[in-house]
Amino acid sequence: MITPLPASTPATPAPILSPIEARVLGTLMEKARTVPDSYPLTLNTLLLGCNQKSSREPLMELTEADIADALHTLKDANLVRESSGSRTTRFEHNFQRGIGVYEQAAVLLGLLMLRGPQTAGELRLNTERWYKFADISSVEGFLEELQDRALEKGGPLVVKLARGPGTREQRWAHLLCGPVDATQTGVSRSSDSLAGNSTERIERLELEVAKLRETVQKLCTELGVAPPEPL
């Protein structure tokens, strides 16, 4: 089902974001869907989300001052709002209304801001916690609409990159931080990101195995039996 467009669709091009502003905006969009109980976010929680080591490309080491400056600019652009009714100032995104796109398109743009260029298949997989697309063709359909977006609606918001050596699928990149060279492939950055994610998964698995071994050792001691030999 296609979510209706917001009532106010901008007739001017979307503002050009800095990489830090894109990270802040993308993080707010992510946390609104993945941790709704903690949303809107405080400045400190937003900082942690922007600097997290997983699901980010590139990795950043931002300060509170960096985040505050980005929030100020995003509020002026009507892309972020401060929420009321709390002792601590909290922030929420206004992306869909501020840019004037469908919910599904906003999800894809948010993932591209956070993880860099991706194929339609990667986007469908990575958006599982945000929105469940029926299939890859539906992802491609929204990407093509964003690429062909009319000038009176603000112009294109994504571009399809050139196919990399030895790859079957082309990657897509967002244009919210300005024009992108469509002849680049985006392969090396995505490959580095995938390698980083694989390393993180291996480290987590090794930690879990170590904890399981410790638990088995304690149980065997309590039962008075010899622990199993390691494989």
Closest CA to 112 of 51, 32, 29, 229: 29
Question: Side by side, which strands form the sheet with 80-83?
Answer: 41-42, 90-93, 80-83
173-207 per-position pLDDT tens digit: 999 999 998 888 766 444 444 444 555 556 556 56
**83 - beta bridge partners?**
90
Q: What's the pTM?
A: 0.76
pLDDT per residue, tens digit, the chain (231 aa), is 445 555 444 445 778 999 999 999 999 999 999 999 999 999 999 999 999 999 999 999 999 999 999 999 999 999 999 987 778 899 999 999 999 999 999 999 999 999 999 999 999 999 999 999 999 999 999 999 999 999 988 899 999 999 888 888 999 999 999 999 888 876 644 444 444 455 555 655 656 666 567 677 777 677 777 777 655
